[in-house]
Structure 1
Amino acid sequence: MSAPAVPIAPAVPAAPPALTVPPAATSAGPAAGPALDLITGRARTGAYGPDPASLRIALAFTTAQAVRHAGRARGYRNEVLSLRLGAAVGSCAVEPGELPADTLTGCVGATVDELLDHPRAAVRVAALDAYLGHCRPHGPAEGARPVPLPAGSSLAKSRARAAAVVGLLPLAGVRRVLVVGVVNSLLEQLRSRGIEYIPCDLKGGATEWDEPVRTDALAHLDACDAVLASGMTLGNGSLDPLLAHARATGKPLVLFAQTGSAVLPRLLGDGVTAVSAEPYPFFWLDGGPTVLHLYGGRSGRGGAAR
């Protein structure tokens, strides 16, 4: 899952209180930040396709998940808001229980343009993701390389995805990775390749190997050679400082995205090195074959999707 997950009791020790949301946060949730605003502005000026005011969202839904993989000591819960536009589904992970009951009814029938001004960042992200997935679907024309995930258990598919995501990191010069949004299968892949990591997540807690999870990712940026971050950083306001650091230092920034999977490739070459884009339905929803769309990385074309 691309979102920082919420531990399930009792297998997971009680997590420490989450950090205060970024200063721009409101009662409607954290602001998404300049990166989302930049791409939204481009969409409104016709850079990607038709006027967002001419397109309406027909369907809104949420997906809630609880998982504890066989052989793993810890389990998680996740929730995702999704909006459908034509054949495309745009998504943004949220904290379980965060969305008011009337969120879905307030989205259906609204234009994409109206939802791009919604007070909730999750709605804005999902609306932009749906719009871009509709206008600029993943594929070779956008610089994406399809990578099939074979049918299997949720753990088998999680590990297959992790191998593809970690494979987007450069082979040379990366000894320690800052992981923002802890996914144990990703950490397992880094361990298998002898790469050190610093796990970070606003929820805190511990990894599958009882390593402490840091809650302040920015404090550890200088200690790492690369950043591997969840797409949920787009929705919770924490992506922009990571982008600024990558732009200033030239460090690789690789994103694994279920949240904003069609949005984040627009940042390739502008701080983002590579993206693993995984639109709905995600690997954890389907035991059959599914597909990742990889942008950039060791054999990809940086910036092709912009």
Structure 2
Amino acid sequence: MELEFLGTGAGSPARYRNVTSIALKLLDERNAVWLFDVGEGTQQQILRTTIRPRKVEKIFITHLHGDHIFGLPGFLSSRSFQGGKQPLTIYGPKGIRDYVQTSLRVSDSRLTYPIKYVEVSDNGQVFEDDTFRVECRKLDHRIASFGYRVIEKNHTGELLVAKLQAAGVQPGPEYGLIKAGKAVTLANGQVLPSGDFIGPAQKGRIVTILGDTRRTANSYTLAANADVLVHESTFGQPDGRMAYNYYHSTSAQAAEVAKKAHVKQLLLTHISARYVGKAAHQLQTEARQIFPNTRVMKDFDQVEVPLAKHQPITK
């Protein structure tokens, strides 16, 4: 599991930061990529990475401001041109379906794959399968804006090969049965319960990605105990009044959310173009005074989200 930042700017493209888009690369987990927001020029940014558009199976839109969606029609069309045939699901606030369908219709664009739309309007679960669950909650922005909490389900523990061999079981089909949670009966009639030969389960990871927002209670709920929190940092602490007036957050406010929610790492993005060079570094300094494990992200930064092995799973 890895995050790659395709755009880290706010409002409009700047010299050193494109507008917002984040890729959550789940290549080992499900051979897929999920995008969070698709700002203008996202498909150009993707050309500078190893991401293949056909691998993108889900797109989560936080809100319908242009710097988060203006790249969507172009990306969808390019996915067709580049061999994308698998279905794609787009999640986002009410209006995302109309925006995409109108853009494709007016431009006479025809896709080689179907799109499923899931329009969200309230707090709740938007997706679940055998490996992941995704929840969303409303944030506090000038228009409807949501944060997403990606929860990986726990991994089955490692097969205790040495213990199996000590019990007289050599590599073969029995190992697969044990790993699948099934008991194995040996030739002498002895029954080996699978649970005796599988190590502790590994706790799944949690990644929280918030849309544009003032500080709000739902930010803490979405971020609780996350391995990574991606939070907007449009303004610095001296511009706190401006942040409030424009329904955004400061770097210090993001750090307070990370600290109180007990996250492991805070990644700041959606940086206003006024913060360049030392000014951008100052955003990081302000946040680290509250939550030390903080980074201000740049375009094309990649952050691995490792499994915490042997972490106990609490019921």
Higher Cα Rg: structure 1 or 2? 2
Note whether the superposition's TM-score is higher than 0.5: no
What TM-score does the superposition give when structure 1 sets the normalisation length? 0.31
Per chain length, whose mean CA-contact separation is higher, i.e. which structure has more relative contact order (CA < 8 Å, sep 6+)? 1
What TM-score does the superposition give when structure 2 sets the normalisation length? 0.31
